[in-house]
Structure 1
Amino acid sequence: MNAHQRPWDAALTDTVHGQAVSGRPERDPTHPVDSTWRLSLHALAQQGLTSSTTLLRVLSCWSSAPVPMSLLSTHAMQDGLCGKLDPPLNAGGVEPALRGLQDHSLVSLVSLVATEGGQEARPSITTHEVVLKGVWAAAPEDQRPRLVMAAAQLLGRNLPDQWDAGASYLVGLMVPHAAALLERISDAETALSVVEVATRLAGYAFEGGDYHASLHLAEAAAHAAENWLGRDDQATLRAKHHTAMGLFRLGRFEESERVHRQVLNIRQRVLGPEHPETLESQQDIHEPLAQLQRPHEAVHALRVTEEVRSRLLGDLHPATLHTRALLIEYLATTDDAEAFQRLGPATVAACEEIVGIGSATTVTAHHNYAFGLFHFGRLEEAEPVARMAVEGRENLHGANHPLALSAAVLLSWVLRGLGALTEAANLARRVVDRQELSLGAEHPYVLVNRTELASTLAMAGAAAEAKELARHNLPLCDRVLGADHPATVETRRLIE
């Protein structure tokens, strides 16, 4: 039992697992719940359980997806806004309220188990969608803003102070509830609370590699924020920044650049060119610029960010080092070998010394330096750095995270150049398989990596498999990348 868990938390966990083992029948989803929930709440109130009504109203702010029990834990409820609702719902009242709802089949307890990562079972609550809609519609209008604020606070208290890989599963469970809560906003005050929580959650989903969920939530938060708070509000701009980041990761580069540019322009006007959030936009716009074949503009964006951060924060400040770690890649793609050699090794060494070898900034520096060495044909030097990048990405994010797969495919390119074709092909095949699942079969990165896999197979003597893969890939490359894209040209060559 952890420090934030009440005795009944553990008891309910046992109940959940007991139901799963015993095979207790689930409530029939076609049960006429819409006509009975009022009677049930009335009966519970007659028993003195008026807090059951408040708990069900709070649940009605969220979606019908499973609600992690931790949202109602002592840590989340203690001295919170739920205690100021009418009737009040305090930490000590959650257990009897929840048991009352369960006894009347208004909620069910389920045990969710992650399919990957080995997380333990997570006890959760489900409520019929018809009940949730009916309860929300019947909630007094003057209480709805307070209910929304309380539900937002419960979500926010379950978010970690900073992202880590272990939080990804819980974050995924909370995304649909934040999305539903955005639709409950009725004024500017509730908008600010809900948008801030939803935007943080979108950021954590992004860090965890769930770019589809991140983009969906960020777009919804941006829409709500612009509607209630205004186009220039910082909460709106933060949500739009996350939208631009999600668009980029999903291969929608033109849209990403457009949203980044809009946010950057407003931040420069409202916050000033040297504000930390302006610099965040100035830095991150480099990504779509590079993918839109404008690498010199990407270098310029990073150079501007690096200069301001170095002047304001210091040459070796972690934020300055992170920008410099990003810059390494584009010094290579713009063929600035002299600047690459001057900046690359020095930045890697500084990152290792100041922020630590396992930090995200240092891993990024290893990744981009390995790419530069590969780009300039220095394959023997690139291999150990690329292997270090793969290890670092997998330790930080997990082996199937998109950034870990990006490092793995870079290593496969290096190995192919060194003649280690079997290992290169195995790595590339795993990357393409996983990227198809996470990014989609027609994502630009997947198309390029599928072409590279076909090339590796052809070099390894598997001509038939290479041609079959190239034939599958060619129409997609033509349509998504264009006939003159290097991957399309190489795919066509493999077929011919």
Structure 2
Amino acid sequence: MVWGMAGCGKTAVVQTVFAEAVRDGSVVGLWVNASGLSSFRSGMLAVAHDRGASQDEVDAARTGRRPAADFVWDYLNRSSQPWLLVLDNADDPEVFRDGLWLRTSPRGIVLVTSRHGSAPVWRAAAKHPLDVLKIDDAVDVLRDLTVNAEEQAKLELLASRLGCHPLALSLAGAYLGRQLLESVTVDEYLKRLDVDPSFIDRGAEPGEQDLSRLISSTWQLSLDALAERGTPEATTLLRLISCYAPDPLPAGLLLPAGLDATGLSDADPPLRGEQANRALEGLLSHALVSLLDAPVGPQHPTVRSVQAHPLLLETVAARIPVDQRGILLSAAAGLLRGLLATNGEQRIDPHTLRLFTPHAIHLLRRTTRERVEVQQTALTIVRDLRDRAYDCNDFFAAQVLALEAVRMTRSVVSAEALTDLHEQGRALSGLGRFAEAVEAHSAALRDRQELLGTDHRGTLDSAYALGLALYGLGRWAEDEQCMRRATEGRERVLGPGHPDTIDARSCLAEAIGQQRRWQEARELATSNLRISQEVLGSGDRHTLTARIALAWVLAGIGRWQEAEAHTRETLLGCAQALGEDHPRTLAARQRLADVLSHLEQWPEAEAAARSVRAVRQRSLGEEHPHTLSVEILLSRILRCRGALVEARHQATRVLEACVRVLGDAHPDTGACRRELRAATEALARACGDTDVEPSNDHEDGRS
């Protein structure tokens, strides 16, 4: 049997097989429409008549005077020629309930097409699932339908937008190829489709009555069949799923207890928790949805999820009655909020959290477009996910969610809207996109100062965050101004021993040190560590931040042994408190690699640098500024320990990335360029050409 979702081309595939099988006349072709009981029985009796049964025998079977199934199969088994029997559109297995209609025979093959792939009646069948097309094949379909003038990229975009669904491609291609008076481009077609998903049905032939050939109706035929068999709640479940994104949807959202806590019992048709499993089984049986184990990351278990074709969800959502949309969106928001809620120590794994990102964003957009009251709930979910993603150092997810929140609140003048802008800036900094972060934080600082006041905590947070972004760009003097403002403001508002004040003071010391005012930086970093130890204790994470800042300043003035002691203590504390792969732990380990290299402890220095690089490449990417900074350090370590060819190769590669990512004027780009020059000259000297002084560039602070 060939089975799959509506419109995936089952009949077309079988027609091709059928034509090939009967081409030379050696095989008899028999085709029966199995979409309904009446058409199926009539078709099977016609098969018996074709294989030699008399009209009287056919009439006897039709009126029940003899078992119809046995009668038909008797003639099929006695056929003088081999045959191929196609039972097309067998979407309702109930048509086979009266008698043993599905049998095997030495004289021929039965080939079935169906949307229903899990019915017990198919147990003995060889199943051949049919899915959507590959992107290249989808583009070929569009070109075959005379959409030839468009660029390959445009056709790939259209194919992707349609989910490479065969029927959708056929309708879209037919529409575009039929415009004789005024051509319609792919871009124009996509805009019309965005406004009204049912626009795709315009590609059907004029006067075509077959609902299975209309995207807006084809899914409804399956839902109607489920309703007729006593599962009307499958419609509500699919409508609920359409409120989310077409990405894998964790099945935990659809648990009975959660559904009973929503208003779906008042939906039409109603959906109660006890019906959820049966409704999902119905959707699965008609290939309207699929179950899969969605991966959530390396070394993490998969999450059982539900997924449906994007076009299916889009058209189902568009056909939801107006009076049902608020109920469904409210339920979707309530289910997502309930699943994400924390309960004591029960927290969702950080990797699993990313699965909810597209669904939270899609839900927010839907509630905004529908103008339903639950929009604020959807926005709260997006903000909550954003903050959790940032806390888990998943800066990519945090930035996507932050951008969505900003889009929703950019025209609003409120403290909450400015917090959205602030969080977008923080996520951009986490991604190493410092120039964009500076822009966001500058706007947030300006508007917070105007709305909240100069010494409001939000205003001071913006000054601090802006300083961090400026540091990432190597703009030390501007960084110092922001950090001084944040430090002095926090001292006034929060006190000198508050954790936020200590963090700002640590960053201020580093900004001063970067401008080579080492004595001033040392005094500030030393007093900051003393205050933090007295107020918070030696093991507090803010004290660890203060200690690593002092270690960096001590390294800057050449006090390497003292710097090593402070750095090792910080590294141990960060690893114990935050974990081996936490960004602060990695920063401390990179700082230790730098210190050890100046103490000529090459093996340990190289091992530390390589371990930091490996984690950052995996978590941040190969061209994140923090990854590039440790690459520069590793290049210097390789050069100084005599691995000159490797050092030069590394510096060459990293310099190209630095210029591309950071710009030619960035301090790290300059440091990498000097390192490449040093490695090149050292290699030349080793070959007996020139002499060169070793580089003494000191690595920067916050990495």
Aligned twin of 1:493: 678
CA distance in 2, matches of 1:397, 1:70: 29
Q: Does 1:181 align with 2:366?
A: no
Q: Does 1:72 pair with 2:248?
A: no
Matches within 5 A, 1:181-260: 181-184=363-366, 185-186=368-369, 187=371, 189-226=373-410, 230-260=411-441
Q: Does 1:379 align with 2:596?
A: no
Contact 2:296 2:351 in 1 (8 A): yes
1:427 aligns with 2:608: yes
Equivalent AA in structure 1 for residue 608 of structure 2: L
User: In 2, distance between residues paired with 1:418 and 1:476?
Assistant: 29
Corresponding residue of 1:112: 294
Whole-angstrom distance in 2 between the partners of 1:366 and 1:216: 34
Where do residues 125-164 of structure 1 align in structure 2 (5 Å cutoff)?
A: 125-159=306-340, 161=342
Q: Name the residue aligned to 2:243.
A: 61
Change (3 A) 1:40 1:238: farther
Deviates more, 1:424-433 or 1:374-383: 374-383
Q: 2: distance between equivalents of 1:428 and 1:323? A: 27
**1:321-336 → structure 2 map (5 Å cutoff):** 321-324=502-505, 326-327=507-508, 329-330=510-511, 332-334=513-515, 335=518, 336=521
* Displacement after TM superposition at 1:349 (Å): 4.8
Matched, 1:346 2:448: no
Q: 1:315 & 1:76 partners in 2: Cα distance? A: 47
Structure 2 counterparts to residues 4-19 of structure 1, below 5 A:
none
Query: How big is each residue's C-alpha offset from its partner over 1:222-268, in whole Å with a ceiling of 9 and x where there is no partner?
Result: 11332xxx242444323322221122222222221111111122222
Q: Give CA-to-partner distance per residue, 1:86-133, whole Å, 9 cap, x none.
A: 4444444433332332233322222235443x4444222122222211
Read off the aligned partner of 1:410 and give its amino acid letter.
R
Once residues 449 and 387 of structure 2 are traced to their aligned partners in structure 1, the CA distance between those partners, rounded to angstroms, is 22
In structure 2, C-alpha distance between the alignment counterparts of 1:25 and 1:309, rounded to whole Å: 68
Q: Distance in 2 between matches of 1:164 and 1:237?
A: 31
Question: Contact 2:296 / 2:352 at 8 angstroms: preserved in 1?
Answer: no
* Distance change in 2, residues 1:467/1:131 (3 Å): same
Instruction: Choose from 220, 237, 247 the match for 1:38.
Output: 220
Identity %: 32
* 1:303-318 aligned within 5 A: 303-318=484-499
> Separation in 2 of the partners of 1:179 and 1:172?
12
Q: Distance in 2 between matches of 1:172 and 1:487?
A: 35
Local SS of the residue matching 1:342: helix
1:55-78 deviation per Cα after TM superposition (whole angstroms, max 9, x unaligned): 222211222221112223467545
- What is the aligned counterpart of 1:95 among 277, 281, 300? 277
- CA drift of 1:37 comes to 2.6
- The residue type equivalent to 1:290 in the other structure is Y
Change (3 A) 1:474 1:64: same
User: Once the two structures are superposed, what CA deviation does each residue of 1:403-457 show, in whole Å capped at 9, x if it has no partner?
Assistant: 4433322221122122221121122123234433443433333333222111000
Distance 1:163 1:259 in 2: 34
Match of 1:285, SS state, is helix
The 1-side partners of 2:256 and 2:488 are apart by 47
Say whether the 8 Å CA contact 1:328–1:343 is kept in structure 2. no
The AA in structure 2 aligned to 1:272 is: G
Note the alpha carbon deviations across 1:369-388, whole angstroms, 9 max, x for none. 44344334333333344344
How far residue 134 of structure 1 moved from its aligned partner, in angstroms, is: 1.7
**Is the CA contact (8 Å cut-off) linking 1:29 and 1:128 kept in structure 2?**
no
Moved more, 425-434 or 241-250: 425-434
Q: TM-score, normalised by structure 1?
A: 0.82
Is 479-488 or 338-347 further displaced after alignment? 479-488
Q: Is the Cα–Cα contact under 8 Å of residues 383 and 415 in structure 1 kept in the other structure?
A: yes
Q: What CA distance in whole angstroms lies between the structure 2 residues aligned with 1:361 and 1:25?
A: 61
Letter in structure 1 aligned against 2:675: E
Structure 2 SS opposite 1:377: coil
User: Unpaired runs of 5+ in structure 1?
Assistant: 1-23
Give the distance between the partners of 2:290 and 2:470, measured in 1 at CA: 49
Matches of 1:267 and 1:240 in 2, distance apart?
A: 10
**Are the structure 2 counterparts of residues 40 and 232 from structure 1 closer, same or farther at C-alpha, using a change threshold of 3 Å?**
same
The 3-state SS of whatever aligns with 2:305 is strand
In 1, Cα distance between equivalents of 2:414 and 2:127: 50
Q: Distance in 1 between matches of 2:587 and 2:490?
A: 28
* Counterparts in 2 of 1:49 and 1:234: CA distance versus 1, 3 Å: farther
User: Do the aligned residues in 1 keep the contact of 2:506 with 2:549 (CA within 8 Å)?
Assistant: yes
1:451/1:491 contact within 8 Å kept: no
Q: Which has the larger radius of gyration?
A: 2
Q: 1:488 to 1:269 in 2, by over 3 A?
A: same
User: What is the letter of the counterpart of residue 432 of structure 1?
Assistant: R
Whole-Å separation in 2 of the counterparts to 1:282 and 1:363: 22
SS of 1:124's equivalent? strand
Give the drift of 1:393: 4.5
Mapped partners of 1:302, 1:25: distance in 2: 66
- Aligned alpha-carbon RMSD (Å): 3.3
* Equivalence map 1:422-461=2 (5 Å): 422-461=603-642
Using the TM superposition, name which of 131-140 and 314-323 deviates more: 314-323
Q: Higher mean Cα deviation, 333-342 or 396-405?
A: 396-405
The answer on whether the counterparts of 1:351 and 1:365 sit within 8 Å (CA) in structure 2 is no
Q: Which residue of 2 aligns with 1:28?
A: 130
Q: Is the 8 A contact 2:389 2:395 kept in 1?
A: yes
Q: Which amino acid aligns with 2:396?
A: H
Is the 2:609–2:634 contact (alpha carbons within 8 Å) kept by the matching residues of 1? Answer: yes
What's the counterpart of residue 477 of structure 1? 658
SS of equivalent residue, structure 1 residue 183: helix
Q: Contact 2:505–2:525 (CA<8 Å) still a contact in 1?
A: no
Choose from 591, 597, 609 the match for 1:416: 597
Q: Rate the CA distance shift 1:115–1:315 in 2: closer, same or farther, 3 A.
A: same
Aligned to 1:464: 645
Residue pair 2:635, 2:648 contacting (<8 A) in 1 also: yes
* Separation in structure 2 between the aligned mates of residue 363 and residue 26 of structure 1, nearest angstrom: 60
For residues 246 and 444 of structure 2, the distance between their equivalents in structure 1, rounded to whole angstroms, comes to 34
Is the CA contact 2:265–2:271 (under 8 Å) kept in the aligned structure 1?
Answer: yes
8 Å CA contact retained: 2:340, 2:348: no
8 Å contact kept, 2:479–2:511:
yes
User: What letter matches 2:303 in structure 1?
Assistant: R
